[in-house]
Amino acid sequence: MTADHDLDALLKRVDPDRWLSSRFVVDPERRADVVAIYAFDHELARAPKVASNPLLGEIRLTWWREVLDEVFEGRPVRHHPTAQALGQAVRRHALPREPLEAMIDARYRELDPAPMSEAEALEWARDTAGRAAELAVRLLDPAADAPAARDAGAAWILARRDPLAAARLLVDARPAASQLSAAAFPAVAHAALIGAPQGRELTRRLRVTWAVARGRI
């Protein structure tokens, strides 16, 4: 089994919503690159959760910042499946560093045990899954308006913390998402799963398929 398939299997297990939306990326190479972006987001999300204290969480996030140094400085990238795949995606599509850096920075807030305010949660969502959606658009269709995907991605992750806030954000995200090209739309298709019942796989697949067919979330 190739490294790409290993990462794809990992994403299917830990992030089934975005794995499902990535199935609608026709080109296998671009699909693998989208999976790499989502796997990177998953690794960052793990850092605050698996660390026994904030300092260890910071060390994990610093490790990923060093991966970005290797990728953008043209140095060999450390032997980690997600790091390797991320490096390939960045170099293949000339992705910018700023959104990736923002994804790391946003995770530091999770090391603080204090509850997030609504404004903080919105900013966190836009800089985590929102940035991941933006990067996915950049590599799926370089001509598309990548920031148009950010609120849709943010609404998807925000639904896990604050469903009402996510529903409000989704209303605002829909017009911009509907302007994305057919090639870019899979980057936001998983937002169609907001509010969908868990455990009903066929229903969830149909919702994403219908969203892609209409170009609307």
Q: What is the mean pLDDT of residues 29-47?
A: 97
Q: Which pLDDT score is estimated for 103? A: 98
Element (H, E) at 105: helix 97-107
Please tell me the total count of domains within the chain.
1
Q: Is residue 140 exposed (0-12), middle (13-18) or buried (19+ Cβ within 10 Å)?
A: buried
Residue-range definition of the domain harbouring residue 121: 3-214
- Determine how many CB atoms are found less than 10 A away from the CB of residue 10: 18
170 has pLDDT over 60: yes
- Give the chain's mean pLDDT: 95
143 has pLDDT over 70: yes
The residue type found at 30 is R
Report d(CA 23, CA 106) in Å as an integer.
27
Q: What is the CATH number of the domain that holds 108?
A: 1.10.600.10
With contact defined as beta carbons under 8 Å apart, do 7 and 36 qualify?
Answer: yes
Buried b / exposed e over 60-93, threshold 16 CB at 10 Å, is: bbeebeebbeebbeeeebeeeebbbbbbbbbeee
Q: Which pLDDT score is estimated for 57? A: 92
- Determine how many CB atoms are found less than 10 A away from the CB of residue 162: 16
Q: What DSSP state is assigned to residue 79?
A: S
Q: What DSSP state is assigned to residue 190?
A: G
Residues 6+ apart with CB under 8 A from 114: none
If pLDDT is split at 50, 70 and 90, which confidence band does 82 have?
Answer: very high
Q: Which pLDDT score is estimated for 197? A: 85
1 has pLDDT over 80: no
If pLDDT is split at 50, 70 and 90, which confidence band does 50 have?
Answer: confident
33 has pLDDT over 50: yes
> Tens of pLDDT along 107-132?
999 999 999 999 999 999 999 999 99
With contact defined as beta carbons under 8 Å apart, do 157 and 129 qualify?
Answer: yes
Q: What is the mean pLDDT of residues 51-62?
A: 91
Q: What number of residues does the chain have? A: 217
Q: What is the mean pLDDT of residues 36-55?
A: 92
Q: Which pLDDT score is estimated for 186? A: 98
> Tens of pLDDT along 88-106?
999 999 999 999 999 999 9
Most distant CA pair in the chain: distance in Å? 46
Q: What is the mean pLDDT of residues 34-47?
A: 97
Report d(CA 53, CA 55) in Å as an integer.
6
Q: Which pLDDT score is estimated for 2? A: 58
